[in-house]
Structure 1
Amino acid sequence: MVARARALAGAGRGILGVSGAPGAGKSTLAADLVAALGGSAVVVPLDGFHLHDAELARLGLSERKGSPETFDVAGYVALLRRLRTETEHVVYAPEFDRSREESVAGAIAVRPEHRLVVTEGNYLLLDEDGWRDVLPLLDESWFVEGEEKTRLSRLVRRHVEHGKPPDLARRWATESDQANAEIVARTRKAADVLVEIG
């Protein structure tokens, strides 16, 4: 996988999309790839484009946080276009701070020496308004999946680690996250590569 990712950089900047359900292991895979590639690669997560909680409340979407309509997809697409064309100077990207449950603007610096951007998120392959503009901007798309019980266990643990009581963490993982996972599962066939993680 590292060799395949490295080949995407080629002569210009490559963009690799890593998709999959919540808790599937996307972030871990993306981080491992970038670590293996050294200073020539960087991770830019979709999660940086979560709408702020105040805006979700205004829209009546607080209980749907993490669903496709709770992201600034137009902003994400605009960033991907910039990453593809603006390769001679630093382009800044937002990062999602799970400890605060909010995005932090300009937290990720994509520098000219970054020849590969690994972008990861749930909905990179979604064929819906706004989202369908993502796939053409990727040089390759990978879909991560694994054993369902392990995925749910990871999700519950993540929610607890970031402050949710265990009962609420389990309910969020099996209801809200699961609804999103079912949307993501329908996008699997659009991926170039299937990656199975235990």
Structure 2
Amino acid sequence: MRVLLIEDEPDLRDLVTAGLKAAGYAVDAVGDWPDAAILLDLADYDCVVLDRMLPSGDSLYALDRRRRAGWSGPVLCLTALHTLPDRVDGFHSGADDYLAKPFAMEELVVRVGSLARRAAHRLPVHLAHADLRMDEARREVHRGGILLTLTHKEYAVLRHLLVHRETVVTRTALVEHCWDEMADPVSNVVDAVMAGLRRKLGPPPLIHTVRGHGFLLGRPDPDDL
């Protein structure tokens, strides 16, 4: 999943970025709304974490304008403005959740994950395909009843393939949804993660390469069963 963090205080921005990345999210982080607006026009984010008081002013005004223009991405306000009127203003302006500073990183990670899952076409917590099972709440993956140990990137790539199972997913789509803006779409990062993921999933193969197009999470070949 890909998260946009908008926070003007550098130390806190670095701390939140590190915490979200440690939880497996790809994170783009900026310090003010004008920079965020550019990224929002270029990419689809699973969640936006938004500080209110930015150098350009209260970000709720910009959020409200974007909502009125039809943008529907999930937003969590992370702010020191924590009174009841502050929270009500946040929800009226289009925030989906509101977390006051100071906060616990574990709670922020859980709230971001909850918003992202709700926004992803109302996907269920449990995703399944053939004998593959993914539990989003526990961040666990089983195949044939066996628990697999996946890296954060392997988990993110597999999740995207599960969401779009039996549909060809391009390398570009995987980079856009599973890596941050620093990733090089022409590098071999996708192939490297895919190789590790295939090895851990084991036989018979579920992830198939569609030459010139991308990857397909399909059914095992009957000859492999």
Which of the pair is proportionally richer in helix?
1
TM-score (norm 1): 0.30
